[in-house]
């Protein structure tokens, strides 16, 4: 099961990443995987591996490469400590505008790889990565056919980098999966995002996971919900099957 550690040269430096493909030889539709605020760690690689095993070439970039080297974080320990003090310096080096800057470099790397069918691209994001995935698809709209967002926060705010402001640029089909226990994505914000997508004519499905908390999809989060996560995986894979293989 190929999993290659690579480095992608971006405008701001060298971005470490994992590139994962199915075990069989072939050319595969590609998905850019935007991870959460826990950064690069085994849980993110394992989730990317599951997606690769479903038949996709998966690019998993380190969202905090601008920060410099850091030890893999353990979410249980992070949440038991001073979350802002631990994650704040890392998150200050990432975010939606940086995702917009990096996306062309990620796509150029995928375009040059012989195992990638670069005509068929998707993106998926978790937590912080959700806004980054939507931003990537809005930055280079002609390249992305599908975007999945799981328990994303701050997706429709007054910030000039809010992803909902890119709704009229999106050409991808979008799946928004929200937790009903998530202060970072309250109902009013969900309505704002959904209205922006609807007004732009985006093909979008929004789903609220009842009883789920922010981070329910992520394997090493304390709130990981295996039943809800399986539902999320089925929805994601159905989207990618429909738009990246159809």
pLDDT in tens, 224-242: 999 999 999 999 999 999 9
Q: Which pLDDT band holds residue 2 (cuts at 50, 70, 90)?
A: confident
- Confidence grade of residue 120 (pLDDT, cut at 50, 70, 90): confident
Cβ distance 218 to 43 under 8 Å? yes
Q: What's the pLDDT score for residue 63?
A: 98
Give CA–CA dist 240/218, Å, rounded.
19
Structural domains in the chain? 3-245 (3.40.50.1820)
Higher pLDDT, 131 or 118: 131
Q: Is the dihedral of CA 167, 111, 3, 50 positive or negative?
A: positive
pTM higher than 0.95, yes or no?
yes
CA angle 122, 126, 127 (to 5 degrees): 140
**Among candidates 1, 8, 105, which has minimal Cα distance to 56?**
1
User: What DSSP character marks residue 40?
Assistant: S
User: What mean pLDDT is predicted for residues 34-47?
Assistant: 97
For residue 191, give both structure tokens. 């309505």
pLDDT in tens, 46-69: 999 999 999 999 999 999 999 999
| Structural contact between residues 126 and 60, judged by C-beta atoms closer than 8 angstroms | no
**CA–CA separation, 12 and 31 (whole Å):** 22
157 pLDDT higher than 60: yes
- Find out whether 5 and 18 touch, Cβ atoms under 8 Å: yes
Token couple for 225: 């919900």
| Two tokens, residue 124 | 């998926």
> What's the whole-number average pLDDT of the chain?
96
Q: pLDDT tens digit string along 161-205? A: 999 999 999 999 999 999 999 999 999 999 999 999 999 999 999
Q: Return the SS3 of 102.
A: helix
pLDDT of amino acid 1: 56
Question: And the tokens for 10?
Answer: 């971006």
For the record, the structure tokens of 59 come out as: 């690019």
- What pLDDT was estimated at residue 123? 98
pLDDT above 70: residue 244: yes
Task: Give the model confidence (pLDDT) of 67-86 as tens digits.
Answer: 999 999 999 999 999 999 99
Task: Give the Cα-Cα-Cα angle 219, 224, 228 (nearest 5 degrees).
Answer: 105
């Amino acid at each position: 099961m190929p999993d290659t550690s690579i480095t992608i040269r971006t405008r701001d430096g060298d971005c470490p990443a994992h590139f994962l493909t199915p075990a069989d030889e072939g050319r595969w539709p590609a998905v850019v995987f935007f991870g959460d605020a826990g950064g690069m760690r085994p849980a993110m690689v394992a989730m990317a591996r599951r997606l690769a095993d479903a038949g996709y070439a998966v690019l998993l970039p380190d969202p905090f490469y601008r920060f410099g080297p850091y030890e893999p974080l353990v979410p249980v320990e992070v949440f038991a400590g001073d979350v802002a003090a631990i994650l704040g310096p890392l998150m200050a080096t990432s975010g939606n505008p940086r995702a917009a800057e990096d996306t062309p470099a990620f796509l150029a790397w995928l375009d040059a790889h012989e195992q990638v069918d670069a005509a068929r691209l998707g993106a998926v994001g978790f937590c912080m990565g959700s806004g980054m995935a939507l931003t990537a698809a809005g930055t280079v709209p002609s390249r992305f056919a599908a975007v999945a967002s799981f328990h994303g926060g701050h997706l429709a705010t007054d910030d000039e980098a809010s992803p909902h402001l890119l709704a009229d640029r999106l050409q991808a089909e979008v799946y928004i999966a929200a937790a009903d226990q998530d202060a970072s994505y309250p109902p009013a914000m969900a309505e704002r995002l959904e209205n922006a997508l609807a007004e732009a004519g985006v093909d979008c499905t929004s789903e609220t996971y009842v009883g789920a908390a922010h981070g329910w999809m992520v394997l090493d989060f304390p709130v990981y919900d295996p039943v809800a996560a399986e539902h999320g995986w089925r929805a994601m894979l159905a989207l990618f099957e429909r738009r990246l293989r159809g």
